[in-house]
Amino acid sequence: MNNDLFLGVDTSCYTTSLSVVDSKGNIILNKRRILKVKNGKQGLRQSEAFFQHVSNLSSLYTEIVLNVDVSDIKAISVSSKPRNLEESYMPVFLSGLYFARNIGNTLNIPVKEFSHQEGHIMASISSSNFKLYENKKFYLFHLSGGTTELLECEYKKGRFESKIIGGTLDISAGKLIDRIGVKMGFNFPCGKEMDELSNISNTKKLYPISIKGNYFNLSGIESHGLKNIGLIKNEDNAKSLIMSFTKTISEIIKKLDDKDILVTGGVSANKYLRNELNSNFSNVYFGSVELSTDNSVGTALLGME
């Protein structure tokens, strides 16, 4: 029996992730720990996140060792930068890279480097009906706290080549939700709470949207959301915010050709966004909610390739 295992490592701005998959792509372990942000704060400095990752990686790897035979791990793959571009860099990913290299040297196995964005893509593909094959071209909406981009992608030799063709011109979708959520009293990050809050509202009110080709501004939606705190019900404010953002994405999709569109990133876990896009477009794909947010499963699967 083939017991080959593959370890994935991802250290994003707000989540430490370790996972193990087998040679058939089955998820054996998926361990994650959200970084701690003080109440009322809207994020962490890179240095703060780095040191939390170092601590989390040690304890999460202990859980890995207790649950699998590490001698069966044949390769480690790690997210070493935000995007698959030479100039892409963010210090927080170095904690995972150094950890992966140390474990790789200890186990005498190869360490493969990918981007955080590639991990998101593969994780969502693996948990959806999206069909992937060599040289396939598709569109990607990466919607998260740090990134809100529309990309044109191509899958080549186990990597995703991409170029940005649209997205936000100011704040990200995640920042839009978190800034208003924190002002409402939620702890950062606020996506899950804002999603649940919006689901109890019946409002149809949209905030003004600003679209320029495939690009858009979200600061106008943010301004209306902040202004309405205390003036309207929080659930109506949250619903208008999410409806307006979803409308923006829908208008961009209408301009694209019929290539498949994959939507990933933490914001893509939002129920309203998923329901609206799936109801109105037959070529839009989402991964599972669990594997749309930050994780290292996609990175592990890329290493298996």
CATH code of domain 168-286: 3.30.420.40
Beta bridge partners of 164: 151
> What does the domain layout of the chain look like in residue ranges?
5-127+294-304, 168-286
Q: What is the dihedral of CA 101, 107, 108, 114, to 10 degrees?
A: -40
Residue 282 one-letter amino acid: S
For residue 3, the model assigns a pLDDT of 84
Q: pLDDT by residue (tens digit) across 200-255?
A: 999 999 999 999 999 999 999 999 999 999 999 999 999 999 999 999 999 999 99
Residues 6 or more apart whose CB falls under 8 angstroms from that of 227 comprise none
Kindly report the backbone phi and psi dihedral angles of residue 135, in degrees, each rounded to the nearest multiple of 5, phi listed first.
70, 15
For residue 296, the model assigns a pLDDT of 98
Instruction: Say if 5-127+294-304 and 168-286 have the same CATH topology.
Output: yes
Q: pLDDT by residue (tens digit) across 165-182?
A: 999 999 999 999 999 999
The upper half-sphere exposure of residue 141, i.e. CA atoms within 13 Å in the direction of its Cβ, equals 32
Q: Is the pTM of this model over 0.85?
A: yes
CA-angle at 63, arms to 60 and 64, nearest 5°: 90
- Beta strands, E only, the chain: 5-11, 15-22, 27-34, 73-81, 111-115, 137-143, 148-156, 159-168, 210-212, 215-217, 261-264, 284-286
Residues 6 or more apart whose CB falls under 8 angstroms from that of 124 comprise 130, 262, 263, 264, 268, 285, 286, 287, 288, 291, 292, 298
Residue 106's SS3 state is helix
The rounded percent of the chain whose pLDDT value lies above 70 is: 99
**pLDDT digit of tens for each residue in the chain (305 aa)?**
468 999 999 999 999 999 999 999 999 999 999 999 988 888 889 999 999 999 999 999 999 999 999 999 999 999 999 988 888 899 999 999 999 999 999 999 999 999 999 999 999 999 999 999 999 999 999 999 989 999 999 999 999 999 999 999 999 999 999 999 999 999 999 999 999 999 999 999 999 999 999 999 999 999 999 999 999 999 999 999 999 999 999 999 999 999 999 999 999 999 999 999 999 999 999 999 999 999 999 999 999 87
Beta bridge partners of 286: 263
d(CA 298, CA 264): 12
Domain 5-127+294-304 homologous superfamily, CATH: ATPase, nucleotide binding domain (3.30.420.40)
